[in-house]
Amino acid sequence: PSASRAPRVGWRWPMAVEPMALRAPGCFGSRAAALGARRLDGWFAWVEPDGAGQYCVKQYGVFHWFFALLLVAMAVMALITTFSVAFIFIRRRLKRCARGGSNEAKARRMQQRHAEEAGGDRAAAVTAVIPCYLPNEQDIIEETITWIMRRVESPGPLEVLLVYNTPHDLPAVEARLRDLAADEAWPQGRRLRVMRVMDSRSKAANLNAALQAVKDPHVVIYDAD
């Protein structure tokens, strides 16, 4: 009998083994796990999906901290500015209440005090001089005159002296100025004088002519605009 032959053992290629999915450091399989891994409830990190089904915890960098500090500094400056403005406003209001009323009341008291100290109204009389180059300021000069005559507080009688120069006649405008000067309905008995400086070429020449015509002890100068 023939000897039995041992079975042949065939050689096989090794089977390929799939590597296990590796996770990057700080990455988790679920968003809840990633959120739970943050320090101090997210003050120093945030969760971001990486596109492969994982959720990674990212740490805030230098740029983020710089931007955060900048926002904090701006908020502190805004608070300081707000408190400063509020303090100044309240302080002025308290000072005004302590000193007894509004600016109008103080102006009236000052007017009365000056009149008493001077011994008469004329000692506190004021002339308001308005130098004007009429061609350029003809559209606003009436408004300026009206504002001064009706709104400006004075410690005594107030006279407004308009001194102007013009290279050519302006009949309509000059006639309107003469009508305003002739008006006797100005408040508190105030007066308007209009004077054309014929040889003037400048504001300084207008002022020199006005100062020669002023009779009151006090003079103020307003621009035409």
Give 168-212 pLDDT, tens digit per residue: 999 999 999 999 999 888 988 899 999 999 988 888 999 999 989
Is the pLDDT confidence value at 100 over 80?
no
pLDDT for the residue 30: 78
Tens digits of per-residue pLDDT, 129-170? 999 998 899 899 999 999 999 998 888 889 999 999 999 999
Average pLDDT over residues 12-40: 63
Is the pLDDT confidence value at 105 over 70?
no
pLDDT for the residue 93: 80
In this prediction, residue 56 has a pLDDT band, given cuts at 50, 70 and 90, of confident
How many Cβ atoms from other residues are within 10 Å of residue 171's Cβ?
7
Average pLDDT over residues 60-86: 88
pTM recorded for the entire structure? 0.48
Output 148 or 42, whichever has higher pLDDT. Answer: 148
Is the pLDDT confidence value at 26 over 80?
no
pLDDT for the residue 54: 82
Output 11 or 147, whichever has higher pLDDT. Answer: 147
pLDDT for the residue 17: 41
How many Cβ atoms from other residues are within 10 Å of residue 148's Cβ?
19
pLDDT averaged over every residue in the chain: 80
